[in-house]
């Protein structure tokens, strides 16, 4: 059988057993050098399935190639060959088996805090519970080459913010990021942490932070716009930083050199009109050169959690914001709880839910109705999806 014949067979298979469009978005995102901007250009040409089929058959138009960023055009010529080795159905089943959630812009499960972002990710992969993003959110960021002072301050901020019901957002990198996340996992935490990484969520962050990543997943969420099994390339981190800035309502820089990724996140935060605070450090200290410059240029000074909570609009320390900020939803019980568990964090067909729960049509329909009334799930075409929990969505006014 020729390659074309195999592709035609796969198209027939897809028609007989439809996949959600997130499966084809994930397949597209798996192509070499295909980032968020290029993905948007592709989707201007048609639905994810249509675009995938066009690439798979080698029918990339000259006008589309010319619309792509300069550095992507050479890689784009390899996409048809790369697509021959990518099976969207196999990818989808692998992600589902690994407990990896997949959500696209416009879906009911998409994080509300990113919907109005000027450059929202088209697709997000996650592990853990994305509902932690409904709490107030503060990014605590800084250099990988942190001093003992910087790590201590980051850990204290993470601990005290989490105790006040604030979701601590960071990048799971070494240094300040790791210290902030470790602090946020303390016994007094009233909100879970969130991490945004530059590689796949199946192996997030450096190997040295593997245990920390598992704890963040267990008590919060790890997110990425790149597919699992994607190694973190240097160009992906500045792109990732816009998501960090988009999630956060306040950005706190604990330590930073004169240049670096933290200042890239600050730039993205300023584009989104987010409050930026910086922790002052020793004059002449290399790890504080960037933060001291931020303060000189007008950033707010952070001397402790009270400064952050005020910038967040929550008053002073000890304010637990979670209960007031997060949309209350009555936890489903019985069949509804069973069905919600089966839905997981990926679009799921009603047929799959019947198979996975063992419920008959009447009980399954009743359970789905209960989940829809309780704002836990929503039907979108032939699929059922979770609804993201809403909460404190925008930056402080």
Q: Tens digits of per-residue pLDDT, 119-165?
A: 999 999 999 999 999 999 999 999 999 999 999 999 999 999 999 99
Question: What confidence score (pLDDT) does residue 10 get?
Answer: 43
| Alpha-carbon span 40 to 248, nearest angstrom | 24
Boundary-marking domain end, from 49, 68, 97:
97
Strand partners, 195: 170, 222
* Residue 105 domain-assigned (yes or no): no
Q: Specify the number of domains making up the chain.
A: 3
* One domain for residues 231 and 284: yes
* One domain for residues 79 and 212: no
Boundary-marking domain end, from 97, 121, 144:
97
* Residue 191 domain-assigned (yes or no): yes
| Alpha-carbon span 271 to 275, nearest angstrom | 11
Give the chain's radius of gyration (CA, Å). Answer: 22
Q: Are 343 and 352 in contact (CB under 8 A)?
A: no
* Residue 19 domain-assigned (yes or no): yes
Nearest 5°: the CA angle 332, 338, 341 is: 90
Question: What confidence score (pLDDT) does residue 393 get?
Answer: 47
* One domain for residues 241 and 264: yes
* One domain for residues 237 and 369: no
* One domain for residues 157 and 273: yes
The closest of 80, 93, 98, 71 to 28, measured between CA atoms, is 80
* One domain for residues 77 and 127: no
Domain that holds residue 369: 329-386
Question: What confidence score (pLDDT) does residue 170 get?
Answer: 94
Boundary-marking domain end, from 277, 295, 325:
325
Q: Are 125 and 100 in contact (CB under 8 A)?
A: yes
Question: What confidence score (pLDDT) does residue 17 get?
Answer: 54
Alpha-carbon dihedral sign for residues 87, 238, 189, 150: positive
* One domain for residues 276 and 337: no
Neighbours of 16 (CB within 10 A): 7
| Alpha-carbon span 211 to 382, nearest angstrom | 38
| CATH number where 338 lies | 1.10.10.10
Can you state the percent helix, strand and coil of the chain, rounding each to 5? 50, 10, 40
Continuous segment of H or E residues that includes residue 39: helix 36-43
* Residue 236 domain-assigned (yes or no): yes
Quick one: DSSP state of residue 346? Answer: S
| Alpha-carbon span 150 to 146, nearest angstrom | 6
* Residue 180 domain-assigned (yes or no): yes
| Alpha-carbon span 324 to 309, nearest angstrom | 15
| Alpha-carbon span 259 to 257, nearest angstrom | 5
| CATH number where 234 lies | 3.40.50.450
- End-to-end Cα, the chain, rounded Å: 63
**94 CB burial (10 A radius; 0-12, 13-18, 19+):** middle
* Residue 104 domain-assigned (yes or no): no
Q: Are 221 and 195 in contact (CB under 8 A)?
A: yes
* One domain for residues 189 and 315: yes
Would you give per-residue pLDDT tens digits along the chain (397 residues)?
A: 334 334 444 443 444 458 999 999 999 999 998 888 889 888 988 899 999 999 999 888 888 788 787 778 888 889 999 999 999 999 999 999 999 999 999 999 999 999 999 999 999 999 999 999 999 999 999 999 999 999 999 999 999 999 999 999 999 999 999 999 999 999 999 999 999 998 999 988 788 999 999 999 999 999 999 999 988 777 788 889 999 999 999 999 999 988 878 899 999 999 999 999 999 988 877 788 889 999 999 999 999 999 999 999 987 555 555 444 566 788 899 999 999 999 999 999 999 999 999 999 999 999 999 999 999 999 988 899 999 988 754 444 3
Residues 63-72: contacts with CB within 8 Å, 24+ apart?
67/41, 68/38, 68/41, 69/37, 69/38, 71/33, 72/33, 72/34, 72/35, 72/38
The closest of 221, 37, 234, 31 to 121, measured between CA atoms, is 37
* Residue 103 domain-assigned (yes or no): no
| Alpha-carbon span 169 to 290, nearest angstrom | 20
* One domain for residues 318 and 297: yes
* One domain for residues 313 and 348: no
Question: What confidence score (pLDDT) does residue 265 get?
Answer: 94
Per the document, the length of the chain is 397
* Residue 144 domain-assigned (yes or no): yes
* One domain for residues 219 and 142: yes
* One domain for residues 146 and 93: no
For residue 128 the two structure tokens come to 């853990």
Continuous segment of H or E residues that includes residue 190: none
Q: What is the full DSSP assignment across 314-330? A: S-STT---HHHHSPP-P
pLDDT per residue as tens digits for the range 343-395: 999 999 999 999 999 999 999 999 999 999 999 999 988 899 999 988 754 44
Phi/psi class of residue 223: alpha, beta or left (left: φ > 0; alpha: ψ in -120 to 50)? beta
For residue 215 the two structure tokens come to 């704890």
């Amino acid at each position: 059988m020729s390659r074309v014949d195999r592709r035609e067979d796969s198209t027939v298979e897809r028609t007989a057993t439809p996949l959600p469009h997130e499966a084809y978005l994930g397949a597209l995102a798996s192509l070499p050098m295909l980032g968020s901007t290029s993905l948007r250009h592709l989707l201007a040409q048609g639905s994810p399935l249509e675009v995938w089929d066009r690439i798979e058959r080698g029918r990339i138009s000259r006008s589309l190639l010319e619309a792509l960023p300069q550095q992507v055009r050479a890689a784009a010529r390899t996409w048809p060959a790369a697509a021959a080795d990518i099976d969207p159905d196999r990818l989808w089943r692998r992600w589902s088996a690994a407990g990896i959630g997949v959500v696209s812009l416009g879906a009911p499960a998409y994080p509300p805090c990113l919907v109005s972002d000027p450059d929202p990710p088209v697709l997000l992969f996650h592990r853990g519970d994305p509902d932690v993003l409904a709490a107030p959110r503060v990014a605590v960021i800084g250099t990988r080459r942190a001093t003992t002072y910087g790590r201590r301050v980051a850990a204290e901020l993470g601990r005290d913010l989490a105790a006040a019901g604030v979701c601590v957002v960071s990048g799971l990198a070494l240094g300040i990021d790791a210290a902030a996340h470790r602090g946020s996992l303390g016994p007094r935490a009233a909100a879970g942490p969130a991490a945004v990484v530059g590689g796949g969520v199946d192996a997030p962050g450096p190997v040295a932070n593997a245990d920390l990543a598992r704890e963040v997943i267990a008590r919060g969420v790890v997110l990425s716009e790149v597919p699992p099994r994607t190694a973190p390339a240097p160009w992906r981190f500045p792109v990732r930083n816009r998501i960090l800035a988009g999630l956060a309502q306040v950005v706190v820089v604990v330590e930073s050199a004169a240049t670096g990724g933290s200042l890239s996140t600050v730039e993205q935060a300023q584009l989104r009109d987010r409050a930026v605070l910086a922790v002052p450090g020793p004059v002449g200290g290399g790890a504080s050169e960037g933060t001291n410059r931020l303060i000189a240029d007008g950033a707010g000074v952070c001397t402790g959690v009270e400064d952050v909570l005020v910038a967040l609009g929550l008053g002073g320390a000890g304010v637990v914001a979670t209960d007031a900020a997060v949309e209350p939803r009555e936890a489903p019980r019985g069949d509804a709880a069973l069905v919600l568990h089966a839905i997981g964090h990926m679009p799921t067909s009603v047929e799959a839910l019947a198979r996975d729960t063992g419920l008959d049509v009447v009980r399954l329909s009743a359970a789905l109705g209960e989940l829809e009334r309780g704002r836990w799930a929503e039907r979108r075409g032939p699929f059922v999806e979770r609804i993201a929990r809403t909460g404190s969505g925008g930056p402080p006014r």
